[in-house]
């Protein structure tokens, strides 16, 4: 992997970054660049194919609706389901795509989804519907729209973990809900930027109606007991860490 600019540094901590530095790092990240290429290629192909524009736009709309639902389901049932930790084949993937993010929410490198997991997922969520609505141009248009939404999701997610208070009230609320998912109780507020499906499925909570503080908010239930039966995540992580992200950062700094 070729690492450019910001990404040559060993550690990438959002708590020590400004919005401007984050924006630069964002566009230098290989996965974001890949989404942009996919979006341009997909739209170029679809729009130059001669396919009627109506069904193509419908495909874009369908992608925008399905995407948050797919993300909600993945976050709730796959990333917080813990079953990925129970096999040596999937444990490294789970560690990379979610366990490490809850262990250290400030680490920008882990915050971005891994391309080999995100791109196939986006394709699976958007291309079949696009194909049904408008053939291959529709599939391409749907995928391109999915890639654009992924860029939006990833940027919002970064801002949620950047230590600054957004002035925009929608962003500020989004950030508060996601912080609660990370630091209060991880069994709710699964939408990253879109909490519509949380509302619909009853997993949305705010400060007014929040559940008790969760003991597993940083380790996602992967404790000593679980590690003794399924050791792979612990092996890759140098043991089971029961501390908070703040403890860990202080240790790193020492
Ligand atoms: Zn997060
Ligand atoms: Zn989570
Ligand atoms: Zn760290």
Q: Quick check: 215 and 244 in contact, CB under 8 A?
A: no
Dihedral sign computed on CA atoms, order 197, 201, 206, 210: negative
Residue 53: count of CB within 10 angstroms of its CB: 11
Task: Output the pLDDT for position 13.
Answer: 79
Interatomic CA distance for residues 3 and 91, integer angstroms: 25
Tokens of 98: 């979610």
- Report CA-CA distances (Å) from 209 to 69, 192, 220: 23, 19, 22
Question: Does residue 145 contact residue 40 with C-beta atoms inside 8 Å?
Answer: no
Lowest mean pLDDT among 119-133, 134-148, 224-238: 224-238
Percent of the chain with pLDDT over 90: 74
- Which bound ligand lies closest to the C-alpha atom of 188? 2
Q: Does position 201 have pLDDT exceeding 70, yes or no?
A: yes
| pLDDT at position 248 | 74
Higher pLDDT, 108 or 132: 132
For residue 134, report the distance from its CA to the centre of ligand 1, in Å: 35
Tokens 């990379």 -> residue: 96
Nearest ligand to residue 101 Cα: 1
Burial of 191 (0-12, 13-18, 19+ CB in 10 A): buried
Ligand 1 center–CA 26 separation, angstroms:
15
pLDDT digits (tens, 9 = 90+) for 71-88: 999 999 999 998 999 999
Place of tokens 């590690």: 227
Q: Which-ligand-closest: CA of 178?
A: 1
158 C-alpha to center of ligand 1: Å? Answer: 8
Q: HSE of 34 in the Cβ direction (CA atoms, 13 Å)?
A: 15
Looking at all shown ligands, the one closest to residue 107's CA atom is 3
Cα(105) to centroid of ligand 1, in Å?
Answer: 6
Can you tell me the mean pLDDT for 137-144? 97
pLDDT at 197 over 90: yes
- When comparing pLDDT for 15 and 8, which is higher? 15
Predicted local distance difference test score (pLDDT) of residue 99: 93
Residue 212 DSSP code = P
Distance (Å) from CA 171 to ligand 1 centroid: 14
Instruction: State residue 254's pLDDT score.
Output: 65
> What's the confidence (pLDDT) of residue 49?
96
Identify the burial level of 225 via C-beta atoms within 10 angstroms of its C-beta, where 0-12 means exposed, 13-18 middle and 19 or more buried.
Answer: exposed
Contact between 63 and 130 under an 8 Å Cβ cutoff? The reply is yes
pLDDT score at 37: 98
The predicted pLDDT at position 10 comes to 58
% of residues, the chain, pLDDT over 70: 94
Measured in Å, residue 75 CA sits from the centre of ligand 2 at 6
Nearest bound ligand to CA 105?
A: 1
For residue 104, the CA-to-ligand 3 centroid distance in Å is: 6
What ligand is nearest to the CA atom of residue 189? Answer: 2
Place of tokens 């394709």: 123
């Amino acid at each position: 992997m070729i690492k450019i600019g910001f990404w040559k540094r060993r550690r990438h901590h959002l708590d020590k970054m400004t919005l401007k530095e984050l924006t630069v790092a964002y566009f230098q990240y290989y996965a974001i660049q890949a989404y942009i290429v996919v979006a341009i290629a997909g739209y170029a192909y679809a729009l130059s194919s001669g396919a009627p524009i109506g069904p193509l736009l419908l495909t874009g709309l369908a992608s925008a609706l399905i995407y948050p639902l797919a993300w909600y389901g993945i976050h709730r049932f796959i990333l917080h389901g813990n079953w990925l930790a129970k096999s040596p084949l999937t444990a490294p993937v789970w560690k990379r795509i979610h366990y490490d993010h809850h262990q250290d929410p400030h680490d920008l490198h882990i915050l971005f989804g891994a391309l080999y997991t995100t791109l196939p997922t986006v394709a699976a969520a958007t291309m079949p519907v696009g194909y049904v609505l408008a053939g291959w141009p529709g599939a391409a248009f749907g995928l391109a729209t999915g890639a654009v939404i992924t860029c939006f999701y990833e940027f919002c997610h970064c801002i949620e973990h950047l230590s600054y208070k957004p002035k925009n009230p929608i962003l500020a609320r989004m950030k508060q809900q996601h912080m609660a998912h990370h630091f209060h109780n991880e069994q709710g507020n699964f939408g990253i930027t879109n909490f519509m499906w949380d509302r619909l499925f009853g997993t949305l909570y705010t400060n007014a109606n929040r559940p008790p503080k969760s003991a597993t908010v940083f380790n996602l239930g992967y404790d000593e007991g679980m590690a003794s039966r399924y050791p792979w995540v612990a092996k890759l992580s140098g043991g089971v860490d029961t501390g908070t992200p703040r403890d860990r950062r202080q240790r790193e700094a020492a």
